[in-house]
Amino acid sequence: MLNLDALTALRAVSEHGSVSAAATSLGFTPSAVSQQVKRLERQTGVALLERVGRGVILTGAGRHLVDEGGRLLTDLERLESGLHRLSGDVTGHVRLAAFSTAMRGLVAPRLGELRLRHPELTFSLTETEPWDTVETVAAGRLDIGVVHSWGDVPLHVPDHLERTVVARDVADVVVREDHPLAGRGRVTPADLVEEGWIATPEGTICRQWLHRMYVGTGRSPRIAHESLEYDSHLALVRAGLGIALVPRLGRSRIEPPLTTVAAADPVPTREVVAVHRRSMAASPALQAVLAALTG
């Protein structure tokens, strides 16, 4: 009978294009992944990988095994979830990833409360960006991913994943109290075209949304400084080095010399969404986590 751990290792090599990258994604050493693949080759009697330069690719037999074996792993996950549903017990281990502000403002407090109600339920929590989170949940390396989508900025979710909206969040413009915009009831992009922004790096969803805010102004936001962390954004605004668009979820307390101004036309709003594989839908542990996050 095929070894399921070895099949999972082969699928990871297929997804990541190398043994070392597969090992990183699975948390194993490259040697351990190679041994798992060799075990499968001994069991099947056929070559599953072939070397191309310094990398490897799947043979035709390897591709067939990954395609068919993936369906097998999905069916086994669905079977396991159904068994847990019949027992009714909220137990087991849930692997969850979330973006940073959701980890602080949503996941940590809600799952802390959930563990008090279900002490047999354990978690592994990882902080990752939304695109990476969707990919790892889709590939089976995580059970639940908490991601966000700003306005009409798309976030592709594969068909075999289910989406649950767990929260809606709004961002405010953060300025110093001595800034000319401080005290305004609201500001629009037209009011902000000359401002220097502290923003997340290019390619992030939040940066894309900042650009979308300027549609119709004939201008692009002027980026003065880049930082991944919103706490750093606040520190830079506090130092008088620019303004920032900071979501409320997981935000540190806004205190003097900082203040917030509401943004309008458009209002910067994002959906916070939990994604999971459809094959896990019957799991009481997964349903308990979703209920906690939406509560």
Query: Which domain does 182 fall in, by range?
Result: 169-269
Q: What pLDDT was estimated at residue 197? A: 98
User: Rounded CA gap, 175 and 155, in Å?
Assistant: 29
Same domain, 190 and 239: yes
Residue 170, beta-bridge partner list: 269
Same domain, 247 and 202: yes
Residues of the chain above pLDDT 70, percent: 94
CB 94 within 8 A of CB 115: no
Same domain, 47 and 181: no
Same domain, 193 and 259: yes
Output the pTM of the full model: 0.78
Same domain, 242 and 281: no
Q: What pLDDT was estimated at residue 86? A: 60
- Please say if the pLDDT value at position 290 is more than 70: yes
Same domain, 157 and 278: yes
Q: What pLDDT was estimated at residue 90? A: 75
Same domain, 79 and 113: no
> Which CATH number belongs to the domain containing residue 230 in this structure?
3.40.190.10
Q: How many CB atoms lie within 10 A of CB 131?
A: 14
Q: What pLDDT was estimated at residue 157? A: 93
Closest to 39 (Cα-Cα) out of 74, 1, 77: 1
CB contact set of 233 (below 8 Å; sequence gap of 6+):
174, 198, 199, 227, 244, 246
Q: Which residue has the tokens 């549903």?
A: 85
If you average pLDDT over residues 225-232, what whole number do you get?
96
Closest to 277 (Cα-Cα) out of 290, 258, 291: 290
User: Rounded CA gap, 78 and 216, in Å?
Assistant: 48
Same domain, 284 and 146: yes
Answer with the residue of higher pLDDT: 41 or 103. Answer: 103
CB contact set of 39 (below 8 Å; sequence gap of 6+):
3, 6
Q: What is the pLDDT of residues 26-70, one digit of tens each?
A: 778 889 888 988 988 888 888 988 887 777 888 888 888 888 777
Same domain, 264 and 275: no
Same domain, 51 and 100: no
Write down which residue in 32, 56, 85 finishes a domain. Answer: 85
Same domain, 199 and 56: no
* 40-44, 168-172, 179-183, 235-239: least confidently modelled range: 40-44
Q: What pLDDT was estimated at residue 87? A: 60
CA neighbours closer than 13 Å in the CB half-sphere of residue 151: 20
Domains contained in the chain, number: 3
CA neighbours closer than 13 Å in the CB half-sphere of residue 21: 12
Same domain, 20 and 81: yes
